[in-house]
Amino acid sequence: MNSDDTQAKPTVRLRSDGAVDEETLAYARTKIDAVVGRTGLPAVSGEVRVVRAAAHHVDRPWSATADLRVGGRQVVVTAEEATGTALVDRLQDRLRRQTDKAAQAWDDGHRTTAPPWRGGNLPPAAEDPGAA
């Protein structure tokens, strides 16, 4: 069965630095794939990095940075937490909010337009001053 509504699998790379255990990485992969693999999103690519600090006196030794391209928009999300699972949960929430915003802007066709003095289109009433 063929369908025109297919989406290529998102290509989001998951990297880790420090003493990040395999369970946390597997949990992160599941949560990230749940966010970027949703239907209705434009093509998603990029990288998520999970870091665990070596210093034991740090309040929040876990940190994550996601740098993704959602359609033509860049989404950057950061998070810091005390545990790996709390970090992944916070990262998922923030990623979902930001990818939703990027997808909505992509769907609505929100594009910044240049002002008239930079070659943008004039509003219809301003094009012909004598037409009113």
Confidence at residue 2, expressed as pLDDT on a 0 to 100 scale: 38
| Long-range CB contact pairs, 53-58, < 8 A, 24+ | 53/18, 54/18, 54/19
pTM of the model: 0.71
Residue 110 pLDDT more than 60?
no
Q: Name the band, by pLDDT with cuts 50, 70 and 90, for residue 61.
A: very high
| Stretch among 34-38, 54-58, 99-103, 125-129 having the lowest mean pLDDT | 125-129
Q: Find the mean pLDDT for residues 26-39.
A: 93
Task: Copy the structure tokens of residue 67.
Answer: 């740098």
Please compute the mean of the pLDDT values over residues 29-48 and round it to a whole number.
91
Highest mean pLDDT: which range of 17-26, 100-109, 115-124:
17-26
- The average confidence (pLDDT) of the chain is 82
Q: Would you call 36 exposed, middle or buried from its count of C-beta atoms within 10 A (0-12, 13-18, 19+)?
A: buried
pLDDT at 43: 86
User: How many helices and strands in the chain, by DSSP H and E?
Assistant: 3, 4
Token pair listed for 80 = 């810091």
